[in-house]
Homo-oligomer: A and B are copies of this chain.
Amino acid sequence: MLVKDQTATFHDCAECPIRHRAVCARCDADELELLEGIKYYRSYEAGQRIIWSGDRMEFVGSVVSGIASLTQTMEDGRTQMVGLLLPSDFVGRPGRAEAAYDVVATTDLVMCCFRKKPFEQLMETTPHIAQRLLQMTLDELDAAREWMLVLGRKTAREKIASLLAIIGRRDTSLHMGKLSERVTFDLPLTREAMADYLGLTLETVSRQMTALKKDGVIELEGKRHVVVPDMDRLLAEAGDDSDGGLLD
């Protein structure tokens, strides 16, 4: 399987695509070697569940490639996505035995895993890891709070625009720097996943996508490929005062 083959190419941390953004970002060569000793790769297919809420967690790790989602579900089936895990994002919580959320692979996914115990021990002796993890956790907390504003106070149209803006911005920051020009990306989420993220129904997501298209805020090629002719316009629709948003 293609995904399996990819993993082989990451064996050396020095050449890892997320080397400078993940939890190991601050580690020097010596520390990296210690991490290499306890790491292993795992691949998942799109749709596969990685972790069940309430399960015992035997590992923590980083997303290397692909996208996963953190979700919570109520007894009656209502679900809310509470996090989008992108390459370099950390999964799992040191010091906690059981998972608090479901983690599901949204696309095909590769993770760099560490068994939990050894990782926790390493954290005690390697301040660089704990420091980086603190930084990343603070960033995630900011993103979560930004998202609370979206969930609590924005209209359906603004919610969609906000989501598109995040994804668009992230994709662009990876490629080149020029914003507020024509931006193009693929939606990694189904309408249903978008609805779960935004606290809407998939019908409402669909209607608002159509409306944004009709108003010229976005263009659609197929269902998943999005073109944003004017990023500032999109940000205005999102209700953002064009300053930074999530995920800096």
Contact = CB atoms under 8 A, between A and B. Distances in A.
Interface of A: 70, 72, 74-76, 78-80, 82-83, 93, 95-96, 100-101, 127, 130-131, 133-135, 137-138, 140-142, 144-149, 151-153, 198-199, 239, 241
- Sorted from nearest, which 3 A-B pairs have the closest CB atoms? A152-B199, A151-B151, A82-B145
Nearest to A100: B142
A101 to B, nearest CB: 7
Contacts of A141: 137, 140-141, 144
A161 to B, nearest CB: 13
A151 B199 contact: yes
A148 B144 contact: yes
Contacts of A138: 93, 95-96, 137
Contact of A145 (B83, B142, B146, B198): B83
Contact of A153 (B70, B79, B96, B142): B79
A173 B83 CA distance: 29
Given A127-B130, A137-B137, A82 B149 contact: yes
A8 B201 CA distance: 54
B134 A130 contact: yes
Contact of A149 (B74, B130, B153, B198): B74
Given A135-B95, A199-B153, A145 B144 contact: yes
A100 B143 CA distance: 11
Contacts of A151: 148, 151-152, 199
B149 A80 contact: yes
Contacts of A74: 149, 153, 239, 241
Given A74-B239, A75-B241, A130-B131, A147 B148 contact: yes
Contacts of A241: 74-75
Given A82-B145, A130-B130, 15 more contacts: A72-B148, A72-B149, A74-B149, A80-B153, A100-B142, A127-B130, A130-B131, A130-B134, A134-B134, A144-B145, A144-B148, A148-B148, A148-B151, A152-B198, A152-B199
A43 to B, nearest CB: 26
